[in-house]
Amino acid sequence: MLIDPNYQGAETQERELRDAAAKINQRIHLAYAGNDSELGIAFETLVRERADSLLVTSDPYFDTRRDRIIAFAAEKRLPAVYQFREYAIAGGMMSYGISLPEGYRRVGIYTGEILKGAKAADLPIWQSIKFEFVVNLRTAKALGLELPAMLLARADEVIE
Protein backbone atom coordinates (compact mmCIF):
# COMPACT_ATOMS: atom_id res chain seq x y z
CA MET A 1 0.00 0.00 0.00
CA LEU A 2 1.35 3.40 -0.99
CA ILE A 3 0.28 6.10 1.44
CA ASP A 4 1.14 9.77 1.93
CA PRO A 5 1.68 10.46 5.66
CA ASN A 6 1.19 14.19 5.00
CA TYR A 7 -2.35 13.71 3.69
CA GLN A 8 -4.99 14.67 6.24
CA GLY A 9 -6.86 11.39 5.77
CA ALA A 10 -3.79 9.15 5.99
CA GLU A 11 -4.40 7.91 9.52
CA THR A 12 -7.96 6.91 8.67
CA GLN A 13 -6.85 5.27 5.40
CA GLU A 14 -4.17 3.28 7.18
CA ARG A 15 -6.44 2.18 10.02
CA GLU A 16 -9.24 1.10 7.68
CA LEU A 17 -6.89 -0.79 5.38
CA ARG A 18 -5.18 -2.53 8.29
CA ASP A 19 -8.60 -3.53 9.66
CA ALA A 20 -9.74 -4.81 6.27
CA ALA A 21 -6.53 -6.79 5.78
CA ALA A 22 -6.86 -8.35 9.24
CA LYS A 23 -10.45 -9.42 8.51
CA ILE A 24 -9.37 -11.39 5.47
CA ASN A 25 -6.10 -12.53 7.05
CA GLN A 26 -4.03 -10.67 4.47
CA ARG A 27 -0.64 -9.18 5.27
CA ILE A 28 0.03 -5.69 3.95
CA HIS A 29 3.18 -3.64 3.60
CA LEU A 30 2.99 0.11 3.97
CA ALA A 31 5.21 2.34 1.87
CA TYR A 32 5.07 6.00 2.86
CA ALA A 33 5.72 8.87 0.46
CA GLY A 34 4.89 12.55 0.67
CA ASN A 35 7.47 13.95 -1.74
CA ASP A 36 9.56 12.83 -4.69
CA SER A 37 12.55 11.49 -2.75
CA GLU A 38 10.25 9.58 -0.39
CA LEU A 39 8.41 8.16 -3.41
CA GLY A 40 11.65 6.61 -4.65
CA ILE A 41 12.29 5.14 -1.18
CA ALA A 42 8.71 3.84 -1.06
CA PHE A 43 9.26 2.07 -4.39
CA GLU A 44 12.44 0.50 -2.99
CA THR A 45 10.49 -0.62 0.09
CA LEU A 46 7.85 -2.30 -2.06
CA VAL A 47 10.56 -4.13 -4.01
CA ARG A 48 12.43 -5.14 -0.85
CA GLU A 49 9.21 -6.43 0.76
CA ARG A 50 8.41 -8.33 -2.46
CA ALA A 51 5.00 -6.78 -2.87
CA ASP A 52 2.87 -8.80 -5.26
CA SER A 53 0.28 -6.07 -5.82
CA LEU A 54 -0.17 -2.38 -5.11
CA LEU A 55 -2.95 -0.25 -3.68
CA VAL A 56 -2.36 3.47 -4.15
CA THR A 57 -4.36 5.38 -1.57
CA SER A 58 -6.39 8.44 -2.37
CA ASP A 59 -4.13 11.48 -2.26
CA PRO A 60 -3.63 14.64 -4.34
CA TYR A 61 0.17 14.21 -4.28
CA PHE A 62 -0.11 10.78 -5.90
CA ASP A 63 -2.42 12.25 -8.54
CA THR A 64 0.39 14.62 -9.56
CA ARG A 65 2.79 11.65 -9.82
CA ARG A 66 0.35 9.32 -11.60
CA ASP A 67 2.59 8.54 -14.58
CA ARG A 68 5.60 7.78 -12.39
CA ILE A 69 3.58 5.44 -10.17
CA ILE A 70 2.01 3.63 -13.13
CA ALA A 71 5.44 3.24 -14.74
CA PHE A 72 6.84 1.74 -11.53
CA ALA A 73 3.95 -0.75 -11.30
CA ALA A 74 4.43 -1.74 -14.94
CA GLU A 75 8.21 -2.12 -14.58
CA LYS A 76 7.86 -4.30 -11.45
CA ARG A 77 4.87 -6.15 -12.93
CA LEU A 78 2.61 -5.21 -10.03
CA PRO A 79 -1.14 -5.32 -10.52
CA ALA A 80 -2.30 -2.03 -9.03
CA VAL A 81 -5.55 -0.40 -7.96
CA TYR A 82 -5.96 3.36 -8.04
CA GLN A 83 -8.57 5.90 -6.99
CA PHE A 84 -9.67 7.50 -10.27
CA ARG A 85 -10.52 6.18 -13.73
CA GLU A 86 -7.83 8.49 -15.14
CA TYR A 87 -5.22 6.09 -13.72
CA ALA A 88 -6.69 3.15 -15.63
CA ILE A 89 -6.94 5.23 -18.80
CA ALA A 90 -3.25 6.15 -18.38
CA GLY A 91 -2.25 2.47 -18.13
CA GLY A 92 -2.96 1.49 -14.54
CA MET A 93 -4.62 -1.92 -14.17
CA MET A 94 -7.79 -0.85 -12.42
CA SER A 95 -9.43 1.93 -10.50
CA TYR A 96 -12.31 2.26 -8.12
CA GLY A 97 -13.40 5.62 -6.85
CA ILE A 98 -15.69 8.56 -7.14
CA SER A 99 -16.69 10.02 -10.46
CA LEU A 100 -14.85 13.31 -10.93
CA PRO A 101 -17.28 14.56 -13.60
CA GLU A 102 -20.15 13.95 -11.17
CA GLY A 103 -18.29 15.97 -8.52
CA TYR A 104 -17.70 18.82 -10.94
CA ARG A 105 -21.37 18.72 -11.94
CA ARG A 106 -22.32 19.06 -8.27
CA VAL A 107 -19.94 22.04 -7.88
CA GLY A 108 -21.72 23.66 -10.82
CA ILE A 109 -25.09 23.12 -9.17
CA TYR A 110 -23.85 24.65 -5.92
CA THR A 111 -22.36 27.59 -7.80
CA GLY A 112 -25.67 28.16 -9.56
CA GLU A 113 -27.54 28.13 -6.26
CA ILE A 114 -25.13 30.66 -4.75
CA LEU A 115 -25.39 32.90 -7.80
CA LYS A 116 -29.17 32.79 -7.35
CA GLY A 117 -28.73 34.12 -3.81
CA ALA A 118 -28.49 31.01 -1.64
CA LYS A 119 -26.08 31.14 1.28
CA ALA A 120 -23.35 28.54 1.05
CA ALA A 121 -23.89 27.63 4.72
CA ASP A 122 -27.51 26.77 3.95
CA LEU A 123 -26.70 24.33 1.16
CA PRO A 124 -26.80 20.64 2.07
CA ILE A 125 -23.56 18.75 2.45
CA TRP A 126 -23.11 16.47 -0.51
CA GLN A 127 -21.15 13.25 -0.52
CA SER A 128 -20.35 11.41 -3.71
CA ILE A 129 -22.59 8.43 -4.31
CA LYS A 130 -21.48 7.59 -7.84
CA PHE A 131 -18.46 5.32 -7.94
CA GLU A 132 -16.71 3.97 -11.01
CA PHE A 133 -14.90 0.68 -11.41
CA VAL A 134 -12.62 0.71 -14.47
CA VAL A 135 -10.45 -2.19 -15.64
CA ASN A 136 -7.62 -1.83 -18.13
CA LEU A 137 -7.64 -5.27 -19.75
CA ARG A 138 -4.58 -4.43 -21.86
CA THR A 139 -2.55 -3.80 -18.71
CA ALA A 140 -3.83 -6.97 -17.04
CA LYS A 141 -2.84 -9.01 -20.11
CA ALA A 142 0.60 -7.33 -20.19
CA LEU A 143 1.04 -8.49 -16.58
CA GLY A 144 0.05 -12.02 -17.58
CA LEU A 145 -3.23 -11.91 -15.67
CA GLU A 146 -6.50 -13.35 -16.83
CA LEU A 147 -9.28 -11.54 -15.00
CA PRO A 148 -12.47 -13.42 -14.16
CA ALA A 149 -15.44 -12.74 -16.41
CA MET A 150 -17.53 -11.90 -13.32
CA LEU A 151 -15.09 -9.13 -12.40
CA LEU A 152 -15.17 -7.69 -15.90
CA ALA A 153 -18.98 -7.86 -15.93
CA ARG A 154 -19.09 -5.70 -12.81
CA ALA A 155 -16.84 -3.02 -14.28
CA ASP A 156 -18.38 0.25 -15.38
CA GLU A 157 -15.78 0.39 -18.13
CA VAL A 158 -13.32 -2.15 -19.58
CA ILE A 159 -10.44 -0.74 -21.58
CA GLU A 160 -9.46 -3.22 -24.29
Tell me if 93 sits within 8 A of 80, measured CB to CB. Answer: yes
Give the three-state DSSP class for 95. Answer: strand
Tell me if 78 sits within 8 A of 11, measured CB to CB. Answer: no
pLDDT at 16 over 90: yes
pLDDT at 125 over 90: no
Q: Is 133 exposed, middle or buried (0-12, 13-18, 19+ CB in 10 A)?
A: middle
| pLDDT attached to residue 140 | 97
User: pLDDT tens across 69-123, in order?
Assistant: 999 999 999 999 999 999 999 999 999 998 888 888 888 999 999 999 999 899 9
| pLDDT attached to residue 28 | 92
Query: CA-based diameter of the chain, in Å?
Result: 57
CATH of residue 115? 3.40.50.2300
**Residue numbers of the domain that contains 142:** 2-159
Tell me the one-letter amino acid at 120: A
In sequence order, what are the residues at sequence separation of 6 or more whose Cβ sits closer than 8 angstroms to the Cβ of residue 95? Answer: 81, 82, 83, 84, 85, 86, 87, 88, 132, 133, 134
Number of domains in the chain: 1
| pLDDT attached to residue 102 | 87
| pLDDT attached to residue 75 | 94
